[in-house]
Amino acid sequence: MWCLQLLLSLLMIIKDVSSQWNVWMPRDISTMTNSCVVIPCTFMYPSGVRPYRGVHGIWYFGQPYPQFFPPVVFKSRTDIVHESYKGRTRLLGDLAQRNCTLRIGSVGTEHAGRYYFRADLGGANIFTYPDFSELKVLDQPNIDVPEEIVSNENLELTCYAPDNCPDVSPEITWLYAEYLPDPSSSPTTWRRATRRCCPARWPSSPGPCTTE
Ligand SMILES: *[C@@H]1O[C@H](CO)[C@@H](O)[C@H](O)[C@H]1NC(C)=O
């Protein structure tokens, strides 16, 4: 019993300390091929930790364990990164302000996967956060079509394209749909264009939409 209590209080101490190493980044983020993506990120470290020779950081792809040599996406101490990220990554955040916001440009499908951040505060104070951001790379926009299409009733079609590259917002265009009302569009992390139309004049399969 005494042993259990000791174990419990030890666990609580460990939990308390580790809860100060925290990172925030979106669990899922999407972008289109050839576009860019900005992964917003902020991190925390225990107040007792004094950064030694500045605050540094590393972004890893795939998995968080440096001993398995995951591809380095970005490293603030050097500019050596994995081949597939050369010239593509830039840290937009200021690490001294605990901001690890990362930009990846010219995104390809090979960049889809999990991104982990590792804070390097010097000495033994290096920590890889277990939370990650999972990047999805789409090569065409998503389109939502209702499961059931009823004749003479309004049909709502929504085309979605991710909007996580601040320099270029996607422009969504519907093809072969000149006779339909103007789409409504709303900018969020997903840009959407919705069309309501009359199924009687709608082709059997809905027209595609594209992004530019
Ligand atoms: C982090 O840095 C980015 C890029 O400069 C900025 O847009 C964002 O607002 C910053 N986040 C916080 C929490 O300060």
- What is the mean pLDDT for each group of 10 consecutive residues in the chain (212 residues)? 57 55 96 95 93 94 94 94 96 97 97 98 94 95 81 77 87 71 63 56 49 60
Pocket of ligand 1 (CB under 6 A): 42, 92-93, 99, 101
Report pLDDT for 156: 77
Q: How far is it between the farthest Cα atoms of the chain? A: 78
Locate the ligand 1 atom nearest the alpha carbon of residue 93 and give its number: 2
pLDDT for residue 200:
35
Give yes or no for a contact between 142 and 160, defined as CB atoms under 8 angstroms apart: yes
Dihedral angle sign, alpha carbons of residues 146, 152, 204, 181: negative
CA 99 to ligand 1 center in whole angstroms: 6
Ligand 1 centre to CA of 167 (Å) is 15
Alpha carbon of 33 to ligand 1 centroid (Å): 24
Q: What is the pLDDT of residue 160?
A: 84
The four Cα atoms 155, 158, 159, 164 give a dihedral, to 10 degrees, of 170
Cα(125) to centroid(ligand 1), Å = 24
The whole-number pLDDT of residue 153 equals: 73
